[in-house]
Chain A
Amino acid sequence: MTEKNRKRIVVAMSGGVDSSVTAALLKEEGHEVIGISMQVWDYSKFTARGGEKFDTCCSLDDIHDARRVAEQIGIPFYVVNFEEEFQRLVIDDFVDEYFRGRTPNPCVRCNQRVKFQLLLQKARELGADFLATGHYARIERGGDGLFHLLRGDDPGKDQSYFLFTLTQEQLARVIFPLGGMTKPEVRQQAARFGLRVAEKGESQEICFVPDNDYVRFLEEERGKGRLAGEIVDRAGNVLGRHGGTYRYTVGQRRGLGIAHPHPLYVVGVDAERRQVIVGPKEELSALGLAAADVTWVIPPAAETVEAACKIRYRHHPVPCTVTVLPGSRAEVRFREPERSVTPGQAVVFYHGDEVLGGGWIDAAVTGN
Chain B
Amino acid sequence: MMIYLDHNATTPVHPDVVEALLPFLQGKFGNPSSIHWAGRAVKGAVEEAREQVAALAGCEPAEVVFTSTGTEADNMAIKGAASALGGGGNHIVTTQVEHPAVANCCLYLESLGFEVTRVPVDRDGLLDLERLEAAVTDRTILISAMAANNETGVLFPVREIGEIAARRRVPFHCDGVQAAGKVPLSVRDDGISFLSLSGHKLYAPKGIGALVVRRGVKCQPLIHGGSQERNRRGGTENVAGIVAFGRACAIAKETMNDEMGRLKGLRDRLEAGILARISGARVNGHRELRLPTTANITIPGVEADSLLMALDLEGIAASSGSACSSGTLKLSPVLAAMGRTPGEARGSVRFSLGRGNTDQEIDRVLAVLPAIVARLRGES
Contacts and interface: CB of A to CB of B under 8 A. Distances in A.
A and B interact physically: yes
Interface in A42-66: 60, 63
A337 interface: no
B255 interface: no
Nearest to A128: B313
A122 interface: yes
25 contacts: A34-B309, A34-B313, A39-B328, A60-B326, A63-B326, A76-B309, A76-B312, A76-B313, A78-B305, A78-B309, A78-B312, A79-B326, A79-B327, A79-B328, A80-B328, A80-B329, A81-B328, A81-B329, A81-B330, A125-B306, A125-B376, A126-B309, A126-B313, A127-B310, A127-B375
Contacts of B313: 34, 76, 126-127
Nearest to B309: A78
Contacts, number: 37
B306 A81 contact: no
- Chain A CB within 10 A, most for which of B305, B312, B326, B329: B326
A63 B328 CA distance: 11
For the residues of B in contact with A, the DSSP-based class is: helix
A44 to B, nearest CB: 10
Given A80-B329, A126-B310, 13 more contacts: A60-B326, A63-B326, A76-B312, A76-B313, A78-B305, A78-B312, A79-B327, A80-B328, A122-B306, A125-B310, A125-B375, A127-B310, A127-B375
Interface string A103-134: 00000000000000000001001110000000
Interface string B352-380: 00000000000000000000000110000
Interface in A304-334: none
Interface residues of A, number: 13
A78 B330 CA distance: 14
Interface in A25-44: 34, 39
Contacts of B376: 125
A81 B328 CA distance: 6
Interface in B301-327: 303, 305-306, 309-310, 312-313, 326-327
Contacts of A80: 305, 328-329
Nearest to B325: A60
Contacts of A81: 305, 328-330
Contacts of A126: 306, 309-310, 313
Nearest 9 pairs of A and B residues by beta carbon: A81-B328, A125-B306, A79-B328, A78-B309, A125-B376, A39-B328, A79-B327, A81-B329, A126-B310
Contacts of B329: 80-81
Contacts of B328: 39, 79-81
A81 B310 CA distance: 16
Nearest to B307: A125
A39 B310 contact: no
Contacts of B375: 125, 127
A78 B326 CA distance: 10
A34 B309 CA distance: 10
Contacts of A78: 305, 309, 312, 327
Nearest to A64: B326
Interface string A218-239: 0000000000000000000000
B80 to A, nearest CB: 28
Nearest to A36: B309
A125 B305 CA distance: 11
B300 to A, nearest CB: 15
A78 B313 CA distance: 11
Contacts of B309: 34, 76, 78, 122, 126
Contacts of A39: 326, 328
A59 B326 CA distance: 11
- Chain B CB within 10 A, most for which of A63, A76, A78, A125: A125
B318 to A, nearest CB: 14
Nearest to A122: B306
Nearest to B310: A126
B327 to A, nearest CB: 5
